[in-house]
Amino acid sequence: MVKNVLFISYDGLTDSLGQAQILPYLIGLSKKGHKIQILSCEKSENFKKNHTIVSQKCEEANIGWNYIDYDNSIPVISSFFTVQKLKSEALNIAKEFKIKVVHCRSIIPAMMGEVLQQKLGIKFIFDIRGFWADERVDGKIWNLKNPVYGFLYNYFKGKEKYLFKQVDCIVTLTENAKSYIQKEFITKNSFLVVPCCVDFEHFDYHKIKNEKVNELRATIGMPEGNYVLTYVRSIGTRYMLLEM
């Protein structure tokens, strides 16, 4: 059954993650006939660099792309105003395109999804990715000794509990996460486990010409025949680099 869907992401489509993970499966769903609108938060540097190619992909797939500027210039305060803009834009899109399902990637977009569910009766999918507040503590981004971060942690954990109870369907990355949610939270018990995935056509090393490889080797002074391990993603406090 064809649905009018709004997909909300706090990550930008012009980010590497947006192009590698978000766009490919939404393009696939669009090919199945679903009418998709995307609402994303775009970082200025990535937007300038990748706006044209992302716009072209969306247009070719008949996907509507709506976006706001991502602003984190003043921690916490800037995020608050970004969220307010996101909420206003989500409501406008939902009304204009007669949205029937809102699919929210992570907890901040899920807060927008709950608003659409309550105000407009839209079906609400919470694609949790990870336990966001806990990840920020584990990754040493939020120090709970700081009262501001202590407040934010408790606020978002409370929101998480509330959203799990309200949402029509929960998407998790692992069976372990599904079991944990079922054990610890009240839900409608409608789950889908979709492991992290990527478009291998996009990351096919066979498409890279040998001349390009040799040119790069020469640029960084790497001898012919050296073994190269490529890690294409972020590195930070939340990544187990030594273990990898």
**Edge-to-edge strand list for the sheet holding 64-69:** 64-69, 35-42, 4-9, 101-105, 123-127, 169-172, 191-193
Average per-residue pLDDT for the chain: 91
Cβ proximity of 103 and 8 under 8 Å: yes
> In the predicted model, is pLDDT for residue 111 greater than 90?
yes
- Per residue in 190-205, pLDDT tens? 999 998 877 777 778 8
- Per residue in 52-68, pLDDT tens? 999 999 999 999 999 99
pLDDT: is 228 or 133 the higher one? 133
Of 200, 183, 182, 199, the C-alpha closest to 191 is: 182
Ramachandran region, residue 167 (left: φ > 0; alpha: ψ -120 to 50; beta: rest): beta
- Domains by residue range for the chain, with CATH: 4-193 (3.40.50.2000)
| pLDDT band per the 50, 70, 90 thresholds, residue 2 | low
Residues 15-34, mean pLDDT to the nearest whole number: 91
CA distance 15 to 51: 10
- Name the 3-class secondary structure at 243: coil
Residue 237 has which token pair?
């406090």
> In the predicted model, is pLDDT for residue 241 greater than 90?
no
